[in-house]
Every structure is written in C-alpha cells, then in structure tokens.
Amino acid sequence: MPSISLLRNPQEGRLRAPWRLLLQTLLLLVLATATLLVLSPLSTRASPLALNTLVMAVAVALSVAIAARVLDRRPLADLGLHIDRQWWLDCGFGLALGAGLQTLLFAGQVATGLVVVTDVARVTPALLGGVVGALAMFVAVGVYEEVLSRGYQLTNVAEGLRGYLGHRGAVAVAVLLTSVLFGALHAANPNATAVSVLGISLAGVWLALGYVLTGELAIPIGAHISWNFFLGVVYGLPVSGNRLDASFVEAREVGPDLFTGGSFGPEAGLLGIAAVAVGCVAIVGYVGARDGRVPLAAAVTVPELLTRE
C-alpha cells in the first residue's frame, strides 16, 4: 500500500531513511536525559564540559547501537567501524594530520604576531592529571561526534537520497546537509558566532571527506581527536569556545578575530578555515597514494543489511 511504502522500504525490509533518522534522534534525546539524571550526583564534582561529554558519549553510543540493529538492520561495523589493521593505519594518519595542522597553524600565528605565548607550564603531577583527563574527553568527543554525524547521519541521508540523486549526488548532498547540521549544533557553544558556525560546518566537510573516500571513520576520528587535543592542551587556545584548565602552553590571541577566531578558537577565523582546506587536500593525497585512485566509497550509500525480505 502507498501509505505503508512511505514508511517502509519493502526491498530492504526496514524503515525509510527519514524515519530512521527521526527515531534515532528521539532515542538520543531520551537516553541523554536519562543519563543526565543518573549522573546528576556527579554535577557537583565534575565540570559542566566533562559531564556533558560523558552524557553525550553514553547517549550516542547506546542510541546508535540500538538504531543500527533495530531500525537500520545493519551491524554497527557498517557505520565505518570495520576495525582492522588498515583502519588503525588510517586512524594514525588522521591523528598525525590533526596534530600537524594545528602545529602549522599555531607556529604561523606566533610568527606573525597574531598569537603570543604568555607562559610555558612546568610539568607536574597535577598538570599531567589534567592532560590525561582532557585526552580522555577529546577521545570520547572525537569518537561519538564522528559516529553520530558521519557514521549514522551522513550514511542514512546518503542511502535515502541514492535512489533520487545517484551515488555521487547523494553523497554530496549528505555531506553538505550533515556538515551544516554539525556547525549548527555548535552554535550554542561559548563565544559562538555566525563565522564560527560556518567554520565548524567547513570542518564537518573536511571530516566527512575522510569518511566518504574510505567508507571508514578512522581518518575523521583520528583527525578530530588530535585537532582538539593539540589546539587546547598542547597550545592552550580555545577549543570551539572552551578554554581548558590544563595546557602545556598558555597563549593569547592578539590579532584580529577575523584571522584568529578570537575567544572561540581557530575554527572561527580565516586561518583555521585555511587549515581545514589544507586538511582536505592532505586527505585526498593520502587516499590517492594508498589506493592509486580517489573514488567515493560505495559503502556510504550501499548498506550491509543483516537480513533482507
């Protein structure tokens, strides 16, 4: 019946993509609320940023795992998590890429006087404890944001549009839509501006590129983690509007916000956007060197279903 076909794809034996996305989002909100209530006793001891990270990590992990199995009828690995030796090599490239981009960006800003180093921290047990805590937080953020934004949302949007736009068109639109959403979700961050939303959206395109060219989340997860860690912990600059207590270097932005991003961080400045563009070129070059070509991965729009009817 037509009314049923609007809800369910009879060839795949599962709900259509818009309904899968809607139900996963609702499940995420319910689980985030429940997790926050369970963890509320920690609110007096943990920072709001750390508590929010823990809540979202739990909620995303559970909601995506349930949605993948029940709504998508696919193994969780089909969302870019076929973890093997190549996956870890790609993740290592992503880690090196994020660290390298932030190092070049920081060095350039210091050399041109846009950022000044005000102090270099003395290594103490307290500092190392703070660094380990920040690393754990950034690992959690890098994993859950990529699994949600690229692994689940981008994949489902692309699969839903494939029949209308073809493989390449569906992937392109999915990257655009989910990257804009990724930027919008950071609009509530401290010190956010219209430029920061644009910058985060472009960073979403960069991270999505590593996924759609390989079909795996290894590159975006690695790059996401090291970008944040080196920005906030190594070089002491704001990470999407949040400045950390523990960092090896204390630095201050003195140049125009248009270039540095000001109190939000480099994603809200032209230099940060330029670094993202360089990152896109680096990913294309890496995948081309690895595979001898740079195609869009078929896995982004062709699901590995558990069962078919």
Residue 157, pLDDT score? 98
Residue 2, pLDDT score? 44
- For the chain, the 3-state helix, strand and coil shares in percent, each to the nearest 5, are 70, 5, 25
Nearest C-alpha neighbor of 170 from the set 294, 20, 302: 302
Residue 13 domain-assigned (yes or no)? no
Task: With 0.75 as the threshold, say if the pTM is over it.
Answer: yes
Residue 296, pLDDT score? 96
Question: Residue 120: enclosing H or E segment and its boundaries?
Answer: strand 115-120
Residue 305 domain-assigned (yes or no)? no
Count how many domains the chain has: 1
Rounded CA separation 69/146 (Å): 18
CB 133 within 8 A of CB 121: no
Residue 147 domain-assigned (yes or no)? yes
Residue 282 domain-assigned (yes or no)? yes
Residue 6 domain-assigned (yes or no)? no
Amino acid at 151: G
Residue 4, pLDDT score? 56
Domain of 259, in residue numbers: 81-300
Residue 10 domain-assigned (yes or no)? no
Residue 243 domain-assigned (yes or no)? yes
Q: What is the 3-state secondary structure (H, E, C) of 146-208?
A: HHHHHHHHHHHHHHHHHHHHHHHHHHHHHHHHHHHHHHHHCCCCCCCCHHHHHHHHHHHHHHH
Residue 34 domain-assigned (yes or no)? no
pLDDT tens per residue across all 309 residues of the chain? 445 588 999 889 899 999 999 999 999 999 999 999 999 888 788 888 999 999 999 999 999 999 999 999 999 999 999 999 999 999 999 999 999 999 999 999 999 999 999 999 999 999 999 999 999 999 999 999 999 999 999 999 999 999 999 999 999 999 999 999 999 999 999 999 999 999 999 999 999 999 999 999 999 999 999 999 999 999 999 999 999 989 999 999 999 999 999 999 999 999 999 999 999 999 999 999 999 999 999 999 999 998 654
